[in-house]
A and B are shown apart, each in its own frame.
Chain A
Amino acid sequence: MVGIVSYGSYIPSYRLPRDVIAKEWDTPSLGGERALASFDEDSLTLAMNASIDALGERNPKEVAGIFFASTTSPYREKQAAATVATVLDTDKELRTMDFTDSLRAGTSALLTALDLAKAGELLLVCAGDARMGEPDTIQEQNYGDAGGALVIGSENVIAELVGTHTVSQEFLGTWRTEEQDYLKSFPGGFENKFGYNRFIAETVRGLLQKCNLEAKDITNAAIAAPTQRALQGALRSLGFDIKNQVQETFWNTVGDAGTAQPLVLLAAVLERAKPGDLILVAGYGDGGDAALFRVTDGIAGFQVARSVYSQIEVKRTLQSYGKYARFRKLLRKDYTTQDESTPVVLLRDQKQILPLYGGKCPACGVIQFPIHRICTECGYRDGLEEIKLSRRGTLFTFTNDYLTETPDPPTTHAVVDLEGGGRVFVQLTDCEADRVEIGMPLELTFRKYHEGYGIKNYFWKARPAE
């Protein structure tokens, strides 16, 4: 039985009200707000943090493949899936692949994983997107940032695969070339009428026919859509009761999250699913992808680490277009302190930086970070045992630093005592400076520290635990 074993989602804590964007350009506001990746987040960290939740306590060594989907990969050349695999601490012998360049890369990665799972393999599919609409366009208001992840396998599934369907169709509705900084959409109703509506209808109809089902049989459908209105246009002809059978797209709270959107919507559907439910997921872009699942009894005992709905509720509202502009490097800075880095050290310390291993002294038992050659507490000289550090801890001490250059001051430096041992010194994120206090429970979150040497310098930060 092939299907979904687990899932996770990640909504960044910042929200940018569309009114803030509209006010900046004296244009009408579309209303609502969009989720916004902070300056230390990108498509990879969004997908990464969803993946950590999706994998949960499962043994990462059992994962045979990791697929990362995005239209905004951190590198033009350099795989993100390999980073996800290393952070999750999988075996090296696994298949990693990035699915890019199409809005439906998220669902395409999912369909590919479902095919591979038939051979008995456990796979992780993740997607993250932080797409850039050009300033002073509808797209700037429309897009939102998020990440989603699914663990796909053939044992202990919470939703069993019923069928899949894909349609590929050459179409220029929204695109971005190597030379373009922002996505271009052909103006007017062209894309919705001749692209989105048709492809979603065709894909979903094809899937239902394959499975000998009708729209009324579907319990809940997670269907990617640029806007809630577009969704209605596409599904009306199929006979769906939009209100009761189709997951709302979080357009008001998150926005169009690109390749991650169908995965986030699917997570939201699964959060409320009951055994026997028939669940449909569909992605749009250069055609469409769709998959149908039947929820199993396994859903009853399933606990998601962090629900989509709770993440939508816990938010910080950014009232400054200028800060958004700085996060996204829309404003040029004449002079910045040169951040330094080197791939050499990042490779040498990879096991400490990415999967966060520390050392345990065989003599005195103290867990320490980084992995010292000689124990920092007792001087034991014959090497420490590598040990994976906990992702949760409490704040031992901190400071809000207004001197360090950052797009989002202050920088909060945090000394964190991890559960089970180990003390790390990291930055605190997703937390207002006046909320920080000694003893507060924290969880680690994977973030981008800076881009010194023109590379993405990822490491862990801490944030208030839920």
Chain B
Amino acid sequence: MNIRDKVAVIGAGCSKFGENYDKSAEDMIVEAALDAYTDARIDPSQIQAAWVGTLSSASAGNALADPLKLFNIPITRVENYCASGMDAFRNASMAVASGMYDVVLALGFEKLRDSGQRGLGTFGDHPVVGYGTTAPSLFAMAANRYFETYGIDKTALAKVAIKNHHNGTMSPKAHFRMEVSEDQVVNAPLICSPLGLLDCCPTTDGAAAVIICKEELARSFRPDPVKVKGVGLSVTSGEPYMKPSFAYTGFPATAQAAQSAYEQAGLTAKDIDLVECHDCFTITEILNYEDLGLCERGEGWRYVAEGRANIDGGAVPVNPSGGLKSFGHPIGATGIRMIYEVSQHLWGKAGDRQVKDAEVGLAHNLGGPGSVGCVTILANS
């Protein structure tokens, strides 16, 4: 079955992202959901089912039922590392495409700042194997391998931070709204070599929500629904560092998820007008360009260095929102926030950061040590 043109986004909402010390998870979930209800012009009683994506801020469907008082409908909690949000969207889309439901809600959120933890803390559930790894360490190892393979250094990574922070200044709901210089990025304190503080996305609180419905019903809610053209999810080894054949210069999960989404959409990378991708770390965005097919292997660092990833760079702009780097990365919220962002551009409502004449957008969410890739292609016609 192909999902193309069976499902439409009719509303999207997003809470303010940031260090939301004064907001609870409930506050942010309600903020995002009400934003989406208003945008879709629906009453919550019309929602027939819901999916909620969160890495670790909740365990069950109650995470939505209680704050939104969405009682007595099916609600499923989805967890797939940092791709939890987009996988919630994907599951919701497939349920609608199956004909089971007409109107559903997909919401992602994460409340990270209440714990005081730096980043996501350490990973691993084995007493010694893989002990003490952190999220940045897993991507830093890719960076060092990429440097070794293509003979570049961390100034190449800084270009991603500069671009995304610049874009973030035009995103009212972004965590950071400040420019950074190459000097600042390159000389920031090391987190996991070669990644410095400004190569890393922040630890962010936030929530995002979208309302999706059966394509045939979409125009009864709004004249300009965004159509789901393709969704892909791919899961590879969660221990790539021990897989002898893993090259560490890209993430096959992204490439495979993208291929699946492109095939469903009947499109290629050339047809895409904008990309929101998973720049959890600067190196990740460079690898994403290559994995998503925006450029050739080994050319990702040039793609950003030559300005082609800019909003008006003459190629496919990447992360006009500011990306995870500047907009923030409340884990479970991110994948839905990307759908929100792409939809804003397709509706022409992205303000100063609007990608001109955007018709087709791609969103890419990545989880674990690059092991869970999720790609969604959306279009306004």
Binding site for B on A (CB under 8 A): 337, 340-342, 345-346, 349, 352-353, 366-370, 376-377, 396-406, 410-411, 413, 415, 417, 421-425, 427, 433, 438-439, 449-450, 452-453, 457-459
* Contact call A438/B145, Cβ cutoff below 8 A: yes
Q: List 29 A-B contacts (CB under 8 A).
A: A340-B125, A345-B127, A366-B244, A370-B129, A397-B141, A397-B148, A399-B194, A400-B190, A400-B192, A401-B136, A402-B192, A403-B134, A403-B136, A403-B137, A403-B192, A410-B190, A410-B192, A413-B132, A415-B241, A417-B244, A421-B244, A423-B244, A424-B242, A427-B132, A438-B145, A438-B148, A439-B148, A459-B129, A459-B131
**Which residues of chain B have C-beta atoms less than 8 A from A423's C-beta?**
241-244
Q: Whole-angstrom distance between the alpha carbons of A415 and B138 in the complex? A: 11
Residues B136 and A370 in contact, CB atoms below 8 Å apart: no
Contacts of A417 in B (CB 8 A): 244
Chain A residues contacting B125 (CB-CB under 8 Å) are: 340
Are A422 and B137 neighbours in the complex by a CB distance under 8 Å? no
Q: Which of B122, B132, B193, B245 contacts A400 (CB 8 A)?
A: B193
Q: Which A residues are CB-close (under 8 A) to B140?
A: 399, 401
Determine whether B118 belongs to the interface, using a CB cutoff of 8 Å to chain A. yes
Please give, as numbers and ranges, the residues of chain B lying within 8 Å of A399 by CB-CB distance.
136-137, 140-141, 143-144, 192-195
Told that A401-B132, A425-B242, A427-B132 touch, could you supply 13 new A-B pairs with CB distance under 8 A?
A: A345-B126, A366-B244, A368-B244, A397-B144, A399-B140, A399-B194, A403-B137, A406-B132, A424-B242, A425-B129, A425-B241, A457-B131, A459-B129
> How far apart are the CA atoms of A104 and B20 in the complex, in Å?
62
Q: Are A376 and B243 in contact (CB under 8 A)?
A: yes
Chain B residue at minimum C-beta to C-beta distance from A422? B244
Instruction: Give 1 or 0 for each of B241-252: 1 = CB within 8 Å of chain A CB.
Output: 111110010000
How far is A207 from B108 in the complex, measured between Cα atoms in Å?
79
By a CB distance below 8 angstroms, the chain B residues around A353 are 128-129
In the bound complex, what is the Cα–Cα distance between A289 and B140 (angstroms)?
54
Q: Name B144's closest neighbour in chain A (CB-CB).
A: A397
Taking CB atoms, residues of chain A closer than 8 Å to B121 are 337
Q: Tell me which residues across on chain B come within 8 A of A411, comparing CB atoms.
A: 132
B248 near A397 with CB under 8 A, answer yes
Most chain A CB within 10 A, of B118, B128, B191, is at B128
Give the residue name and chain of the A residue nearest to B134 (CB).
Answer: A403
- A410 and B193 contacting across the interface, CB-CB below 8 Å: yes
Does more than half of chain A's interface fall in helix, strand or loop, or is it mixed? mixed
CB-based contact A401/B241 at 8 Å: no
Tell which of B131, B140, B144, B243 has the most Cβ of chain A within 10 Å: B131
B307 at the interface (CB under 8 A from A): no
Q: Is the CB of B126 within 8 A of A367?
A: no
Q: Is there a chain A Cβ closer than 8 Å to B133's Cβ? A: yes
Contacts of B131 in A (CB 8 A): 427, 449-450, 457, 459
B348 at the interface (CB under 8 A from A): no
| B44 contacts A by Cβ under 8 Å | no
Residue of A nearest to B120 (CB): A403
> Nearest Cβ in chain B — how far from A394, in angstroms?
12
Residues in A with CB closer than 8 Å to B245 are 366, 377
In the complex, the chain A residue whose C-beta lies closest to that of B147 is A438
| Contact call B127/A341, Cβ cutoff below 8 A | yes
Report B-chain residues with C-beta under 8 Å of the C-beta of A398: 141, 144
User: How many Å from the CB of B10 to the closest CB on chain A?
Assistant: 41
Q: Is the CB of A404 within 8 A of B122?
A: yes
A-B CB proximity, top 9 nearest: A399-B140, A459-B128, A341-B127, A400-B193, A425-B241, A397-B145, A399-B192, A401-B137, A404-B132
Give the complex CA separation of A352 and B129 in angstroms: 10
Min CB distance B117 to A, Å, is 9
Contacts of B119 in A (CB 8 A): 403
The answer to whether A425 and B130 touch across the interface, beta carbons within 8 angstroms, is: yes
